[in-house]
């Protein structure tokens, strides 16, 4: 298993103020090694988003309409074992309760880059501890085949035949050279169980097979489109925060 320090942290940012939300996303991008996979403006939306994306960490504003950030933290920790919560607030009166609840850190607004960097380091340390202490039996096995429903029966698809996975029409699809199969799995659940180093999360809605990438085309603002070796020659989006990691896997030499 790849060390936690080398894996990107998937994060969700929750704040009802768009400017504060965008500022924290920007700071997390500056830290590096953190992929913000989603944002929410309320605890209710955050619960649904986290259930879908299964991030390692959630940065939650303390004061929001409805349930506050600490209530959200308690709900998330009850639903997803091992998730890390960092509470963000303009006030320090919730810090004691936050640490009693079990949050990893408590950031005061306006957050500064070095302080955010320290919070991310604490999250990484916790993720590393979870990796070391989790019993082997609790780790789900690597997927090599999938049984997918097709006309009242189940068809077995080999993972090595899948060119990419995508989220479309509220379903996850496995795309092979000649077919498409709807799955009862989320992209995040798939990502955790796919063979190591074979697929790459290019975008919130896509997992692509690395050895099928044949071209990267800049589309502006640090984003790219990937062309895959496939009869349809699909153009798959590459998110800006994922481009640097992909360039490490496929260096640009010219």
Which positions ≥6 away from 198 have C-beta within 8 Å? 159, 209, 210, 211
Rounded distance between C-alpha atoms, residue 145 and residue 155, angstroms: 10
Spatial CA neighbour of 88 closest among 21, 11, 10? 21
pLDDT at 177: 94
What is the model's pLDDT at position 224? 85
Among 28-37, 122-131, 244-253, which is the least confidently predicted range?
244-253
For residues 226 and 216, the answer to whether their CB atoms sit within 8 Å is yes
Look at residue 176 and tell me whether its pLDDT is greater than 90. Answer: yes
Summarize the confidence of residues 156-164 as an average pLDDT. Answer: 93
| C-alpha 166 chain-centroid distance | 14
Tokens of 134: 């989790």
Q: Which secondary-structure segment (H or E) carries 35? A: strand 34-40
Locate 49 and state its tokens.
């988003």
pLDDT band at residue 249 using 50, 70 and 90 as cut-offs: confident
Instruction: Point out the least confidently predicted range of 22-36, 87-101, 154-168.
Output: 87-101
pLDDT at 101: 76
How many Cβ atoms from other residues are within 10 Å of residue 24's Cβ?
25
Q: What is the pLDDT of residue 130?
A: 67
Question: Residue 94: is its pLDDT beyond 70?
Answer: no
Mean pLDDT of the chain: 84
Q: What would the mean pLDDT of 50-55 be, rounded to a whole number?
A: 86
CA distance readout (Å), 118 to 31, 88, 123, 231, 245: 9, 14, 9, 46, 21
pLDDT bin (cut points 50, 70, 90) of residue 15 is: very high
The confidence score (pLDDT) of residue 2 equals 43
**Over 50: is that where the pLDDT of 56 sits?**
yes
- Contact predicate 13/24, CB 8 Å: yes
Q: What is the pLDDT of residues 235-248, one digit of tens each?
A: 999 887 777 778 77
CB atoms within 10 A of CB 197: 10
pLDDT digits (tens, 9 = 90+) for 198-224: 898 888 889 999 999 999 988 877 778
Given a cut of 80, whether residue 1 has pLDDT beyond it is: no
Q: Are 164 and 212 in contact (CB under 8 A)?
A: yes
Domains and CATH numbers, the chain: 4-135 (3.40.50.2300), 145-249 (2.40.50.1020)
Summarize pLDDT for 112-154 with one digit per residue, the tens. 999 999 999 999 988 887 665 555 444 568 889 988 877 777 8
pLDDT of residue 93: 72
Length of the chain: 254
CA distance 199 to 229: 14
Instruction: Note whether 183 and 159 are within 8 A (CB).
Output: no
Estimate to the nearest angstrom the gap between the alpha carbon of 191 and the chain centroid: 9
Q: Which residue has the higher pLDDT, 196 or 106?
A: 106
CA–CA separation, 42 vs 163, rounded Å? 36
Element spanning 214, H or E: strand 213-220
């Amino acid at each position: 298993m790849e060390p936690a320090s080398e894996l990107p942290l998937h994060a969700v940012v929750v704040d009802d103020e768009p400017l504060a939300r965008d500022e924290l996303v920007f700071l997390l991008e500056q830290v590096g090694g953190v992929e913000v996979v989603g944002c929410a403006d309320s605890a209710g939306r955050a619960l649904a988003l986290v259930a879908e994306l299964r991030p390692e960490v959630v940065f939650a504003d303390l004061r929001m309409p409805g349930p506050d950030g600490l209530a959200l933290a308690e709900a998330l920790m009850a639903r997803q074992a091992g998730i890390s919560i960092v509470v963000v607030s303009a006030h320090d009166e919730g810090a004691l309760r936050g640490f009693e609840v079990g949050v990893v850190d408590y950031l005061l607004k306006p957050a500064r880059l070095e302080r955010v960097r320290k919070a991310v380091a604490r999250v990484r340390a916790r993720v590393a501890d979870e990796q070391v202490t989790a019993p082997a039996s609790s780790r789900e096995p690597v997927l090599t085949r999938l049984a997918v429903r097709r006309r009242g029966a189940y068809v077995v698809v080999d993972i090595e035949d899948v060119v990419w996975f995508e989220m479309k029409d509220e379903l996850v699809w496995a795309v092979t050279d000649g077919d498409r199969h709807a799955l009862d799995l989320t992209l995040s659940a798939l990502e955790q169980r796919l063979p190591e180093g074979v697929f790459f999360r290019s975008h919130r809605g896509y997992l692509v097979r690395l050895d099928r990438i044949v071209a990267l085309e800049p589309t502006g603002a640090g984003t790219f489109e990937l062309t895959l070796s496939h009869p349809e020659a699909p153009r798959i989006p590459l998110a800006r925060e994922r481009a640097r990691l992909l360039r490490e896997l496929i260096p640009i030499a010219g």
